[in-house]
Structure 1
Amino acid sequence: MATLNETDLKLFVDSIRTYLKVTTRQEPQITSAFLGTEDLEGFEFNGIVTFSGSHNGHVVVSMPARLVREILLLQHETDLRDSNLLDAVGEIANTLAGNARKSLGSELDISVPVKVQGLNGIKARVRKHPYVITLRWNHYEAMVCVDMDRRH
């Protein structure tokens, strides 16, 4: 299996930047992009989409509760229960996956988002060296973890 190239990875950086800018009218600051380790620490709310077909692996969006709540409030959502926060972070992961399909081709199959609450949500899902994008939006830290390979 071949690893993703810089252009492939940039689409995830651009996708999370665009998503937050469009939904909140405030662009996030990308604070770093690096190869992670199995000791990667995430946040309480995690949305995970699995890829198969032309690429195998997954993308994980990991955000603290306060960030997800603020995004929902900006969208005039009044239901701020944990179950709705999980749905929101799952939808963000699904949006990133859909954008990936547009760039990586229709042979990329994406799963329904899996939503995991808890700080270990990322640890259980990543391999040895995933690509990690950290960001700051409105003083809140968040992370997108891209853990996938090209099949051909």
Structure 2
Amino acid sequence: MATLTEDDLQLFVDAVKHYLKATSKQEPEITSAFLGDSSVIAHEFNGIVSFMGGYSGQILVSMPEGMLRELLVLQHEHDLSETNLLDAVGEVANTLAGNARKVFGPDLEISVPTRLRGAQGITARVRPRPYVITFRWHRHPALVCVDLERR
């Protein structure tokens, strides 16, 4: 399998920036981008979308509870339950996957987001060293893990 290019990875950076800026009028600060290891250190709320077709693997969006609560409040949502927080992180993951489909082509198949509370058991599935993009929005750290390979 072929490695993603820098432009492929920039798609995910740009998608995170666009999503948060559109939602909150404040763009996040990208704090680092690096090759992780097989176990990803994630936050409390995680959305995972799997890819098939010309690419295989997954992307993981991982955010702390406080960040998701602030995003929901900015969207005038009053239900700050765990279910709604999980829905919110799943929506972010799904949005990133939709942006990937626009760039990688309509043959890219994407799953419905899997939403998880807690970081236990989150591991890379395709790459021994997935791409990790960390960012900060307001005071909250978060990350996107891109664990994709081009077929």
TM-score of the superposition, structure 1-length normalised?
0.95
Q: What aligned pairs does 1:20-99 form with structure 2 within 5 A after superposition?
A: 20-99=20-99
Match of 2:107 in 1: 107
Cα RMSD, aligned residues only: 1.3
The alpha-carbon deviation at position 127 of structure 1 amounts to 4.2
Task: Give the whole-Å Cα distance in 2 for the aligned partners of 1:102 and 1:136.
Answer: 26
Task: Give the whole-Å Cα distance in 1 for the aligned partners of 2:60 and 2:40.
Answer: 12
Identify if the C-alpha distance between structure 1 residues 70 and 121 changes in structure 2 by more than 3 Å, giving closer, same or farther.
Answer: farther
Does the 8 Å CA contact 2:38/2:124 hold for their aligned counterparts? no
Identify if the C-alpha distance between structure 1 residues 75 and 135 changes in structure 2 by more than 3 Å, giving closer, same or farther.
Answer: same
Identify if the C-alpha distance between structure 1 residues 145 and 118 changes in structure 2 by more than 3 Å, giving closer, same or farther.
Answer: same
Task: Give the whole-Å Cα distance in 1 for the aligned partners of 2:121 and 2:80.
Answer: 20
Task: Give the whole-Å Cα distance in 2 for the aligned partners of 1:16 and 1:121.
Answer: 24
Matched, 1:130 2:130: yes
Task: Give the whole-Å Cα distance in 2 for the aligned partners of 1:125 and 1:117.
Answer: 19
Does the 8 Å CA contact 2:39/2:122 hold for their aligned counterparts? no
Task: Give the whole-Å Cα distance in 2 for the aligned partners of 1:19 and 1:121.
Answer: 27
Identify if the C-alpha distance between structure 1 residues 121 and 136 changes in structure 2 by more than 3 Å, giving closer, same or farther.
Answer: farther
Residues 81-120 of structure 1: CA distance to partner in whole angstroms, max 9, x if unpaired?
0010000000000000000000111111100000011122
Match of 1:118 in 2: 118
- Alignment size in residue pairs: 151
Structure 1: gaps (5+ residues): none
**SS of equivalent to 2:80:** coil
Identify if the C-alpha distance between structure 1 residues 110 and 39 changes in structure 2 by more than 3 Å, giving closer, same or farther.
Answer: closer
Runs of 4+ in 1 over 6 A off after TM superposition: none
